[in-house]
Amino acid sequence: MSCQIPAGSADELAPGQRKLVFVDGRSIVVFNIEGALCAVENSCPHNGASLAGGQLEGRMIRCPAHGLRFDVATGCMPGKGGLSLTTFPIQNIAGTLELTVDDAPAGPCHTQPG
């Protein structure tokens, strides 16, 4: 089951910025990448490190702990397969960021970074 959760004002998240949101005991990082919103779990699937301070190159976030990279739009690593970062749908609805949080775990990666 999923639910929509307000995650603050869209004005607080200009292109190039990121913010941490805490929802139901989860820590989620929301990115504005050139106007596109992306939200990911703030926990690296490799060993649980925080991704909030990771270096962003386009849509790819580099985990500060061991350097694995993930596409914040798809949750996938470069290439086929690999670990999968949990992503969350996010929308700007009348100026409010709205996260959709689902209890289902992330599925395997089948998409390629664009």
Three-state SS at 10: helix
**Span from 2-10, 13-21, 25-33, 62-70 in contact with ligand FES (CB under 6 A):** 62-70
Cβ(111)–Cβ(59) below 8 Å: no
The one-character DSSP state at 106 is P
Query: Can you tell me whether residue 11 is helix, strand or coil?
Result: helix
Of these, 3, 66, 80, 102, which contacts ligand FES (CB under 6 A)? 66
Long-range contacts of range 64-70, CB-CB < 8 Å, 24 or more positions apart? 68/44, 70/40, 70/44, 70/45
Would you count residue 47 as binding ligand FES (CB under 6 A)?
yes
Residue closer to ligand FES by CB (options 70, 88) is: 70
**Does 77 contact ligand FES by CB under 6 A?**
no
How many amino acids of this chain bind ligand FES (CB under 6 A)? 8
Give the residue with the Cβ less far from ligand FES, 34 or 57.
57
- For residue 49, state whether it binds ligand FES (rule: CB under 6 A): yes
Q: Which residues pair with 102 in a beta bridge?
A: 2
Residue 93, phi then psi, degrees to nearest 5: -115, 105
Q: Which residue from 8, 19, 46, 91 is in contact with ligand FES, where contact means CB under 6 A?
A: 46
Positions that interact with ligand FES (CB under 6 A): 44, 46-47, 49, 63, 65-66, 68
